Amino acid sequence: MQRIIALVEDEPTIAANYQASFQRLGFIVNVFATRSQALSYFGERGLPDLAIIDVGLADEYEGGFDLCRQLREQSATLPIIFLTARDSELDEVSGLRLGADDYLTKDISLTQMVARVKALLRRVDALEQRGNQDNDVLTRGEMEINNLTMTITWHQQAVELTLTEFWIVHALAKYPGQVKSRQQLMDAANVVQDDNTITTHIKRIRRKFKHIDADFDHIRTAYGMGYRWSAQ
């Protein structure tokens, strides 16, 4: 089955280059120049398998951020990548806080871009395989991780995690007390990111759990080493 990529990019040359490149790899690529065009299409045809979004769209300086927020409201697991010329740390953190799985700048090579896309889509494919390998539900105290539906609950309330966040929590909780380095967490989530980005993911995960339980303190930092899941 061909995977559908939505490319939301207002620069025609860049959009055409990426569209042609991904189409050569067998993807169906739908290109949109504005947030409204993308949302209208998704409303009629449904969400894509993956979305690549620029931050600035036409006359909307942060249209991509708004689109990411709206897509996350519709799906907690849709893979979303920002591809933008804006390389400030503030913009990157903003994108990740809105729920994007990756934030890339436009100087990235096509080879690296393809690798990121395939890694995110592999996680979707890995769901069924992991479901066959592991028990469908992993329980850690008040938390339940459902590998089949790729969802996590805390005190029987859903924790709205992205795919990256889901696999990070899964990797930590599978072996409580065992320290996982940032590289091991990246491997578990099938992403290639720097240490600061993983730290941002951890902060956002903690915040989502604390939204349900203000006393949540089960993801501990092992300074200079990584993170671990604590049952205490």
The ranges assigned to domains in the chain are: 4-127, 134-229
Task: Please tell me the predicted confidence (pLDDT) of residue 112.
Answer: 81
Contacts of 205 (CB under 8 A, 6+ apart): 161, 165, 168, 169, 219
Domain 134-229 has CATH 3.40.228.10: no
Q: Which residue has tokens 């089955």?
A: 1
Task: Please tell me the predicted confidence (pLDDT) of residue 137.
Answer: 85
Q: What is the 3-state secondary structure (H, E, C) of the chain?
A: CCCEEEEECCCHHHHHHHHHHHHHCCCEEEEECCHHHHHHHHHHHCCCCEEEECCCECCECCHHHHHHHHHHHHCCCCCEEEEECCCCHHHHHHHHHCCCCEEEECCCCHHHHHHHHHHHHHHHHHHHHHHHHCCCEEEECCEEEECCCCEEEECCEEECCCHHHHHHHHHHHHCCCCCECHHHHHHHHCCCCCHHHHHHHHHHHHHHHHHHCCCCCCEEEECCCEEEECCC
pTM of the full structure: 0.68
Task: Please tell me the predicted confidence (pLDDT) of residue 24.
Answer: 95
Strands 102-105 and 50-53 turn out to be unpaired
4-127 and 134-229, same CATH topology = no
CATH topology of domain 4-127: Rossmann fold (3.40.50)
Task: Please tell me the predicted confidence (pLDDT) of residue 147.
Answer: 77
List, run by run, the mean pLDDT of 10-residue segments along the chain (232 residues). Answer: 94 94 96 96 95 93 95 88 88 83 86 84 66 70 84 90 85 94 84 74 92 95 94 78
Which among 129, 81, 126 is positioned nearest to 102, based on CA atoms?
Answer: 81
